[in-house]
Structure formats: C-alpha cells, structure tokens
Amino acid sequence: QVNDAESTVAVAFTPTIPHCSMATLIGLSIKVKLIRSLPERFKVDVHITPGTHVSEHAVNKQLADKERVAAALENSHLLEVVNQCLSARS
C-alpha cells in the first residue's frame, strides 16, 4: 500500500509456511529492494501478514527496527545473501 501524500509504503507478506525459517530474510530483502528503488522521502514498512507465522511478532519487530536493519546490512555475509535474493536470474 502506497501513500504518496504521507510518503509511506506498507507491504504485508505471507511466508510459505507458518514455521518458515527464511521469513526474516524474505522481509529484509523486500525492505532493501524498496529502499533502493524508492525516493529517500518514503518510509518503508514491511511486515508479516497477521496470523501467518508463528514468530510474526519477533520478525516484525526486527524489520521495524532501523538500527537492527542497518546492523544486518553492515554484515557483509548477510548483505551478500540479500543481494543474491534480489539479483535477476537468467
């Protein structure tokens, strides 16, 4: 959901299964793609669709925390994994 007037973008995603171990990585990848693609004025909110994951609250808390996201992206290995998730496949 995009609100141009308030410069916000909200994305709810549904993991493949309720115990998906990749939910945080998926959310982080979506967030990074949007941050890279949108003008800086936009605030990006990525969260799990309510009721679709057992650790929904914990994952949403991580994705909403700017410092945790920044720290994750400073980790070269994790950044490489995110970039692989976002790369175009041929």
Domain count, the chain: 1
> pTM of this prediction?
0.90
Query: What's the CATH code of the domain at 65?
Result: 3.30.300
Would you mind telling me the total number of residues written for the chain in this entry?
A: 90
Rg (alpha carbons) of the chain, rounded to whole number? 13
Write out the chain's pLDDT in tens, 90 residues. Answer: 999 999 999 999 999 999 999 999 999 999 999 999 999 999 999 999 999 999 999 999 999 999 999 999 999 999 999 999 998 765
- By residue range, what is the domain housing residue 56? 2-86
Classified as helix, coil or strand, 74 is helix
